[in-house]
Amino acid sequence: MGDERAPMGDAGRAFSLDNAYLRSSQAARDPSSSCTLTRAVGASAQLQLNSTSLPDVRETEWAWDPDNRTQQLLVSWKPNGPRPEWYDLDREYKAKFKLTEKAFLVIENLTVQMSGRYTAKTKFKSGKSLEEAFRLCLYEPIPHPQIQVHSSSSTMGQCNVSLECAVPGTTGDLTVTWLSKDFPEEPEQRGVLESATSSRHLSLSLPWDQLDGHLTCVVSNPVDRKNVTLHLESVCLRRGSLQSKWPVWSWVLVLVVLMVSLGAGMWTWRKRRKMEAGRGRCRAGRAGGGAAAGVGMPCGKTGQCRPEKHPGKARARGC
């Protein structure tokens, strides 16, 4: 059996080591699905240890368990050693791993493939050992999202739209939330937005007098957040028709105005034709000579000839 004494034989130090051992053992038995660290692709991470600050450390060894791959030993470190001893790594990873003076593991220029579980096993001169594990989760930066209009229709006084918050080139886990502070506070409108949380698709039916608002799609993951805003009225005007924009009674009013205008135009045109015809008969009468034909009778307002006290003046006016 191994020596159960504390590294320095001191009760206080033994208590510290035992407590650290219990904490690390419980952490090692926890499921590895939860993330200890979250980083964006291209960033750096430093995994800090508590065990290497304890006395009488003999050696610390780092190992990496990539997702769905076999374990890879990384480096062995001794407090009084000349330098860390690195295991043979693939060329793409050699320049990414570094070790500090306290055996903290530094990972630079992270890629998605470098996610996984990192474990540091520290051995003491007493024969005890302590493990500290880290679950590193990596996420891609989010591209700028776009709101796509898949369908738009209109019913009596309402605009119906089907929208999608599209994120180009991204297949990772994302949280999608639709927000709008311009919507009314009716329960049915709040329910529409609550049901759309974490869904890229949203369907809305809104009255025309409530379309002067903005709808925002927020896309996020643990390391990034992007949003895009859409003016709802522009969607309905662009995708809908003018008939759907105006209610039926307004079109009836427009039709009545057009019919009245057309009738007034026809009446004016017929009146002018009648006046022109009357003036033509007056001219014909003067040209033939004779009172019966209208000699000396000027044209009236309706185009009919009327007697004139001075027939010469009527001929001078050319009626």
Q: For residue 280, what pLDDT is reported?
A: 64
Q: Which of 139, 154, 185 is the last residue of a domain?
A: 139
Task: State whether 76 and 97 are in the same domain.
Answer: yes
The 3-state DSSP class for residue 280 equals helix
- CATH code of the domain in which 122 resides: 2.60.40.10
Question: 6 lies in a domain?
Answer: no
Contact indicator for 204, 213 with CB cutoff of 8 Å? no
Q: What is the pLDDT of residues 215-264, one digit of tens each?
A: 899 999 999 999 999 887 777 764 444 444 455 556 677 788 888 888 88
Give the dihedral sign, CA 31/34/37/38: positive
Task: State whether 166 and 238 are in the same domain.
Answer: yes
Q: For residue 38, what pLDDT is reported?
A: 93
Give the chain's residues under pLDDT 70.
1-33, 170-172, 181-198, 237-251, 278-319
Number of domains into which the chain is organized: 3
Looking at residue 300, the DSSP 8-state letter turns out to be: -
Q: For residue 298, what pLDDT is reported?
A: 53
Return the amino acid letter for 282. Answer: C
Task: State whether 296 and 282 are in the same domain.
Answer: yes
Task: State whether 276 and 171 are in the same domain.
Answer: no
Q: For residue 308, what pLDDT is reported?
A: 52
Q: For residue 295, what pLDDT is reported?
A: 47
Answer whether 0.75 is exceeded by the pTM.
Answer: no
Q: For residue 211, what pLDDT is reported?
A: 73
Q: For residue 27, what pLDDT is reported?
A: 36
Q: For residue 297, what pLDDT is reported?
A: 52
Contact indicator for 250, 208 with CB cutoff of 8 Å? no
Task: State whether 131 and 151 are in the same domain.
Answer: no
Contact indicator for 263, 181 with CB cutoff of 8 Å? no
Task: State whether 185 and 119 are in the same domain.
Answer: no
Q: Which domain holds residue 266?
A: 248-317
Task: State whether 53 and 132 are in the same domain.
Answer: yes
Least Cα distance to 38 among 224, 316, 301 occurs for: 224
Contact indicator for 120, 103 with CB cutoff of 8 Å? yes
Question: 214 lies in a domain?
Answer: yes
Least Cα distance to 52 among 131, 148, 163, 169 occurs for: 131
Question: 257 lies in a domain?
Answer: yes
> Cα 86 vs. chain centroid, distance in angstroms?
46
Q: For residue 185, what pLDDT is reported?
A: 47
Contact indicator for 120, 61 with CB cutoff of 8 Å? yes
Q: For residue 278, what pLDDT is reported?
A: 67
Neighbours of 245 (CB within 10 A): 15
For residue 47, give both structure tokens. Answer: 């995994």
Distances (CA, A) of 80 to 49, 76, 83: 17, 12, 9
Q: Which of 70, 105, 139 is the last residue of a domain?
A: 139
Q: How far apart are CA 172 and CA 221, in angstroms?
A: 9
